Structure 1
Amino acid sequence: MSEGGNTSYTDSIQRAAIERFPLINVRGVPLMNYIANNFDSIWDFTPDPSDLLIATYPKSGTTWTQEIVDLLLHNGDAEICRRAPMTERIPLLEIFAPPPIPSGLELLSKMDPPRVIKTHLPFQLVPPGFWENKCKAIYVARNARDNLASYYHFDRMNKSQPDPGPWEGYIHKFMRGELSWGSWYEHVKGYWKEREERNILYLFYEDMKENPRREVERIMRYLELSLADDVIGRIVALTSFESMKDNPMANYTFIPERVFVHSISPFMRKGEVGDWTNHFTPEQLRMFEEDYEKQMNEFDIPFRTNI
């Protein structure tokens, strides 16, 4: 996309009335009011069978996975994958915001299948057309401790989400599922339960950090692609945290500062496994782990909090 296209997109955000939007429950899941008020049209969305869904709880490696997929689909061509900001290349299905910002549905309506579509919706809120049409879906999960820490800093810098308040209170909001897109626990469990029946490729952030080439190849095989070894190596390099942090089409610096205040916390902050150790006090960790065991005791999902 031309520079003019990029400017038009950011200009629309500049002109919109941005505020910290309140949350409204949709079938028990708190969503930002613009999303909640338009949920019927989101639920009615019918994807093409060739469309691919990338689903995550926020701050679980979403942008990383999007960039990997885009590069795989374009044979590792970095220039093609800088054709537009990530929000335009792979729209967030459910996003609605004040005019003139285009909704995810508007952006998707202007794209020809096969499309790659992003969502943070928990499994039960994903439009049923994805499963009826047997679309492929990739889910990425991140361990709760790191996910909590990353989401906290994102909510600090994202002026459209509810004010996170202090860290010690945010922990309780996370445990109770009182954040945008709801409960982390229900999110990761929902897709885990359905992964085999729905042919969902369920990935772990920690595995991607530990051996990115192995996980890129897993995604490639799931997409039924076959790329040369040197192309895979190039994709791994282009999707390293350092490379993506310097990529203006992926690092969200294209979102105006009045919405994403990178001086508070950059969108791409650390990208580490184990950063949670810099946040939890011993007492907070004991409390969190007690609650975690209660919420996850019937599920043996192999999360790792360090690698």
Structure 2
Amino acid sequence: MSDRFVWFEGIPFPTMGYKPELMREARDSFVFKDEDVLILTFPKSGTNWLIEIVCLIYSKGDPKWIQSVPIWERSPWVEAEHGYNSLKDKEGPRLISSHLPIQLIPKSLFNSKAKVLYLIRNPRDSLVSGYFFYSNSNFTKKPESLEQYFEWFIQGNVLYGSWFDHTCGWMSMRGKENFLILSYEELKRDTRSTVEKICQFLGKKLEPEELNSLLKNSSFHAMKENKMSNFTLLHDYSLVEKNASLMRKGITGDWKNHFTVAQAEAFDKIFQEKMADLPRELFPWE
């Protein structure tokens, strides 16, 4: 499988825009500032939705910024070549995105007061979402079937490695005052209350009309229509096929439409084994 991955410290990365030497430099030398905000997820967990929400918190619900600047420029990826190079020289408070496991994140994070938003999602839904997205991508190995991708996922042979290792690693930070755990499921179930919780964590306050504007402009429909957020700009770089959409369904529980009974049972067994040391209430899905 290594022919369609870039490897760094045993973790697979996309083949375009990622260089092991720069990821090593970022891990060892990148400096997090106390006023930075890090948006952290495993792939296909609602990352871009959370980025959009945080951007709209900063702009007080005004959509001009999110409608004029690509999402990866607003909150650059620290592990990607383009993102790392733009973040290094950026002044003032920075929004930073990452899918990195805890052992590869820039070490300076742990000595800073930078605020971390860690968004988790039912891994079954992340698996299904990943299958459909990577099937139309040109920057990683394409799965031939959901059955094949299911096996890759449970083995950790997917971009950024094992969901279980990623989640167990970052959950070790829970309880720290600068680390907020969120779930895609609670964000879907009660977006308004979850956004208010994020505002409180970031020390921001929105007026009722600003919050309403945020909710409207970060909705699935609004993001699907916003070319600065829906990744259709990537068609110009041939990173994804013309018919590929980052915004597919935006729902919870879609895995039930795709898993076989045997797959569901196998996944449950692995989940119970791998996550046995963590409290069940951390995972608010069925």
In which range does the TM-score fall when normalised by the shorter chain? over 0.9
- What is the CA deviation profile of residues 29-51 of structure 1, one whole-angstrom value per residue up to 9, with x for unaligned ones? 22346333432211121122211
- What is the CA deviation profile of residues 203-239 of structure 1, one whole-angstrom value per residue up to 9, with x for unaligned ones? 0000000000011101100110111011111111111
Hey, what does 1:16 align to over in structure 2?
none
**Structure 1 residues 221-232: aligned runs within 5 Å:** 221-232=200-211
**In structure 1, how many angstroms separate the alpha carbons of the residues matched to 2:88 and 2:252?**
37
- Aligned residue for 1:59, secondary structure, equals coil
Cα distance, 1:25 vs. partner? 4.2
8 Å contact 1:146–1:273 — kept in the other structure? yes
Q: In the alignment, does 2:273 pair up with 1:289?
A: no
Letter in 2 for 1:24: W
8 Å contact 2:23–2:80 — kept in the other structure? no
Letter in 2 for 1:52: V
**Structure 1 residues 131-142: aligned runs within 5 Å:** 131-142=110-121
**In structure 1, how many angstroms separate the alpha carbons of the residues matched to 2:155 and 2:280?**
20
What is the percent sequence identity of the aligned residues? Answer: 33
Letter in 1 for 2:7: I
Hey, what does 1:29 align to over in structure 2?
11
**In structure 2, how many angstroms separate the alpha carbons of the residues matched to 1:196 and 1:305?**
21
**Structure 1 residues 1-307: aligned runs within 5 Å:** 21-26=4-9, 28-32=10-14, 34-43=18-27, 44-96=29-81, 103-197=82-176, 199-256=178-235, 258-263=238-243, 265-302=244-281, 303-305=283-285
Hey, what does 1:5 align to over in structure 2?
none
**Larger deviation, residues 29-38 vs 65-74:** 29-38
**In structure 2, how many angstroms separate the alpha carbons of the residues matched to 1:52 and 1:122?**
17
8 Å contact 2:38–2:95 — kept in the other structure? yes
Cα distance, 1:198 vs. partner? 6.0
8 Å contact 1:31–1:181 — kept in the other structure? yes
- What is the CA deviation profile of residues 245-292 of structure 1, one whole-angstrom value per residue up to 9, with x for unaligned ones? 1111111111125212241x4110001001101110111111111111
**In structure 1, how many angstroms separate the alpha carbons of the residues matched to 2:170 and 2:23?**
20
Letter in 2 for 1:76: G
**In structure 2, how many angstroms separate the alpha carbons of the residues matched to 1:262 and 1:58?**
21
- Aligned residue for 1:53, secondary structure, equals strand
Letter in 1 for 2:271: Y
8 Å contact 1:32–1:161 — kept in the other structure? yes
- What is the CA deviation profile of residues 124-165 of structure 1, one whole-angstrom value per residue up to 9, with x for unaligned ones? 211111221221110100001101101111211221122223
**In structure 1, how many angstroms separate the alpha carbons of the residues matched to 2:278 and 2:37?**
27
**In structure 2, how many angstroms separate the alpha carbons of the residues matched to 1:61 and 1:250?**
12
- Aligned residue for 1:254, secondary structure, equals helix
Cα distance, 1:301 vs. partner? 4.2
8 Å contact 1:25–1:36 — kept in the other structure? yes
Q: Structure 2 unaligned runs (5+)?
A: none
TM-score (ref. length: structure 1): 0.86
**In structure 2, how many angstroms separate the alpha carbons of the residues matched to 1:301 and 1:151?**
24
Letter in 2 for 1:130: L
Q: Could you list the structure 1 runs, at least 4 aligned residues long, displaced by more than 6 angstroms after superposition.
A: none
8 Å contact 1:146–1:305 — kept in the other structure? no
TM-score (ref. length: structure 2): 0.92
